[in-house]
Structure 1
Amino acid sequence: MAGHSKWANIKRQKAVVDAKKSKTFTQLSRAIIVAARSGVPDPAGNFQLRTAIEKAKVAGIPNDNIERAIAKGAGTFNDNASFEAIRYEGYGPEGVAILIEAFTDNRNRTAADLRVAFSKNGGNLGETGCVSWMFEQKAVCVVQEVVDEEQLLEASLEGGAESYEMTEDEIAEVFTEVANLENLNQTLKDKGFQVTDAELRWIPSNSVEVTDPERARSLFKLIDTLEGLDDVQNVTANFDISEELMAVSIS
């Protein structure tokens, strides 16, 4: 988890917001479609949908786009596109295990795009199950402006959390079981904490240490390429790397 957390932290600090805005809009719109389809198309009764809408609004997606995405998921807006959530698996440089979560309306296109991305960056797309056994899905709440860890601990325990990790100054990630995400999210908010994200995440049970600068660059290029694909929602990998080498490798 450490490697992926460091990677996420550094990426948040990079000034790439404008360049990836259209990509973000595509991702978040598809997340709304799938959430609306997997439960009731009403955010009041669908936590996954409510969370997806909140993220979309923070990203600046217009309300019309959000309503259209909900309608697509509910089946009341027909554009002949049928999206489904699919998980892909593969290996990167140094044998790093990689999980890719995608929302797609064309499995063949998505698989072909992923295969090209892997092959051009020192990895290979694998079969279903080849690396997923090394990951466990957990629910995570990201909390900003944490000034009192003792209060966070108390609120987290009350909300049924299993653990928490301070990832940056005054930013914490609180982990719980998948089924408890909504409860933990609400408890933290009720206790006055600023929860900026509530999501499901794959946590690796082991990690591969990457020490070679060239392999590190190839790995980060692969992850960046995968995340740049329209069909891809999330990429998780089990690498661990020093912050110094990471900073050099992505500069």
Structure 2
Amino acid sequence: MSGHSKWNNIKRKKEKTDGAKAKVFTKIGRELAVAVKEGGGPDPASNSKLKDCIAKAKAANVPNDNIDRIIKRAAGDGDENKYENIVYEGYGPCGVAVIVEALTDNRNRTAADIRHDFDKFGGNLGTTGCVSFLFNRKGVLIIEREDQAEDKVMEDALEAGASDLQADEDVFEIYTEPDDFSGVLSDLTDKGYEFETAEVQMVPSTYVQVPESKQNSMQKLLDVLEDNDDVQNVWHNWEAPEEEE
């Protein structure tokens, strides 16, 4: 079993993205296109990066027609913008570790924007490797508990190849090695499970609490980073407080 539950942090991110589906779909579409061009072509059977992106897109309810159209367009010889993957690392208020994964066609613009955001909300942009050692890349699948028996979910998850499962009050958190993520997702989907979220994430090994006086700045930093069109993912180790119903 894992230690600290991740669901509260994931839920905050999910609630925000649920309210901005168009932007989410656009970002996932860009990620799919880059996976086709950089990962080895349009066939997910031979392109593991694309396979994981498709799984992420489906979990985010991107329509299959949209996914197919993006892949076909990316496989062509169009003159679309050339995007590059860049990872930024830094600290938020009170030493919260933050990793920002971006896809950009202008690295100078993106770097300036992200540095400005960190500075504005009490953080600072660091150097490569300054916080990444505090995270592990894992596949994360979240299933609502509802009336499902924990023993059955655990059995199915482990049989599918999951490395860990944690039972939260509201959900089951299933973890996989990155290379096993697509297979576990496919197997559990075939067994009828539906997911609140399913993607490969940077999962913190330790968490940081932020005093109430700094929580607003911390949340604003995360919000402005996630709203940046060049930013694909924002990972952090803030142990966010439970939100009141």
1:185–1:195 contact (8 Å) kept in structure 2:
no
Q: Which residue of 1 aligns with 2:138?
A: 138
Say whether the 8 Å CA contact 1:117–1:225 is kept in structure 2. yes
Kindly provide the amino acid, as one letter, of the partner of residue 238 in structure 1: N
Residue 36 of structure 2 corresponds to: 36
Residue equivalent to 1:76: 77
Q: Counterparts of 1:176 and 1:200 in 2: how far apart (Å)?
A: 9
How many residue pairs are counted as aligned between the two chains?
238
**Regions of 4+ moved over 6 Å:** none
| Residue aligning to 2:232 | 233
Alpha carbons of structure 1 residues 71 and 85: separation in structure 2 relative to 1, 3 Å: farther
- Pairwise mapping of residues 236-251 of structure 1 onto structure 2 (< 5 A)? 236-243=235-242, 247=243
Displacement, 1:66?
4.4
Identify the match of residue 51 of structure 1 among 52, 55, 66.
Answer: 55
1:150 aligns with: 151
Gaps of 5+ in 2: none
1:96 maps to a residue whose letter is V
What is the aligned partner in structure 2 of residue 7 from structure 1?
9
Within 2, Cα distance between the matches of 1:165 and 1:53? 24
Secondary structure of 2:199's match? strand
- Unaligned regions of 5+ residues in structure 1, if any? none
* Residue aligned with 1:209, SS: coil
Instruction: Give CA-to-partner distance per residue, 1:161-195, whole Å, 9 cap, x none.
Output: 121234452x3221011111122112212332224
Identity, % of aligned pairs?
Answer: 40
Larger displacement relative to structure 2 (45-54 or 198-207): 45-54
1:167–1:45 CA distance, 2 compared to 1 (3 A): farther
Cα pair distance change 1:242/1:183, threshold 3 Å: same
Counterpart in the other structure of 1:224: 223
Contact 1:144–1:193 under 8 Å retained in 2: no
Distance in 2 separating the partners of 1:152 and 1:128: 38
1:10-29 per-position Cα deviation (integer Å, ceiling 9, x unaligned) = 45446x745x2332232111
**What residue in structure 2 maps to residue 125 of structure 1?**
125
Secondary structure of the structure 2 residue equivalent to 1:161 = coil
- Please give the TM-score of this superposition, normalised by the length of structure 1: 0.83
- Classify the secondary structure of the residue corresponding to 1:240: coil
Aligned to 1:32, the other structure's residue is in SS state helix
Q: 2:70, 2:117 → 1: CA distance?
A: 28
The alpha carbon displacement at 1:156 in A equals: 1.0
Taking structure 2 as the reference length, the TM-score comes to 0.85
Choose 175-184 or 159-168, whichever is displaced more. 159-168
Q: Which moved more, 1:193-202 or 1:40-49?
A: 40-49
What residue number does 1:192 align with? 192
